[in-house]
Amino acid sequence: MNQILRLIVFCAACVMSPGAWAANFKTVVIDAGHGGHDNGAQWGKIYEKHLAFDTAVRLENRLKQMGYKTVMTRRSDYFVSLPRRVAIGNSHKNAIFVSIHYNYTWKRHVTGLETFYHSSEGQRLAHFVQGSLLRQTRTVDRNAKFARYYVISNSAHPAILVEGGFVSNEEERERMKSGDYREAIARAVAEGIDRYRRGF
Ligand SMILES: [Zn+2]
């Protein structure tokens, strides 16, 4: 009976503080979506590949300042296949994989931020990052969600794919044109990664 009671208390603690354990990793693999002939989402001269790369570089700078090792799957505007991105990530030990994208839909009124995961550790990481994104940008919460995107479902590491707003929405497009907004996204992702590592 005593043992059962202890088990119940233990499980309640698990449910009440799902983030109360630290993650052990040293390297963050940063994957700037698209590149080269693959522009990603596009509106006029606004290309997702450029927005994602700029945000990825800002994220890299912030993570380095915080003491993390970083790896970039691309270093400028060239094409990298999805299997190659995964292979780069999986070639590093004690790592997490963070893919940066901007969104598009034909429904022009749709706005907000979303973070995708595939594994359960990816889910924990996604919740920390999505929480930080909302605090830093005060925009619409499209939640942390399960998805089978290639780069996250084939990663050997905790992996997420961040969608930093909709290129197809006029208001968000104007925001993401500014370095301040992309810096806010980078700051939020870095903060979420650090909170995931610390466990709170
Ligand atoms: Zn994309």
Q: Is residue 137 part of a domain?
A: yes
CA of 160 to the centre of ligand 1 (A): 13
Is 67 a member of any domain?
Answer: yes
Domains contained in the chain, number = 1
Q: Which residues crowd ion ligand 1, with CB under 5 Å?
A: 33, 40, 101
Q: What are 177-182's contacts with CB under 8 Å, separation 24+?
A: 177/46, 179/54, 181/137, 182/51, 182/54, 182/55, 182/58
Q: Residue 72 domain-assigned?
A: yes
Decide which of 13 and 39 is more confident: 39
Residue 62 belongs to some domain of the structure: yes
State in Å: Cα 18 to ligand 1 middle.
30
Question: Using CB atoms within 10 A of its CB, is residue 104 exposed (0-12), middle (13-18) or buried (19+)?
Answer: middle
Query: Diameter of the chain by CA atoms?
Result: 68
Report DSSP state, residue 199.
Answer: T
- Report how far ligand 1's centroid is from the alpha carbon of 140 (Å): 19
Residue 14: per-residue pLDDT: 46
Residues 170, 109 contacting (CB under 8 angstroms): no
Helix axes 120-137, 179-198, angle to 10 degrees: 140
Parent domain of 141: 24-198
Question: To the nearest whole percent, how much of the chain has pLDDT over 70?
Answer: 90
Measured distance CA(87)–CA(74) in Å, rounded: 13
Give the pLDDT band of residue 163 (cuts 50, 70, 90).
very high
What is the whole-number distance in angstroms between the Cα of residue 3 and the centre of ligand 1?
A: 50
What is the model's pLDDT at position 4?
52
Q: From the DSSP assignment, how many helices (H) and strands (E) are in the chain? A: 7, 8
CATH of residue 162: 3.40.630.40
Confidence of residue 22 (pLDDT cuts 50, 70, 90): confident
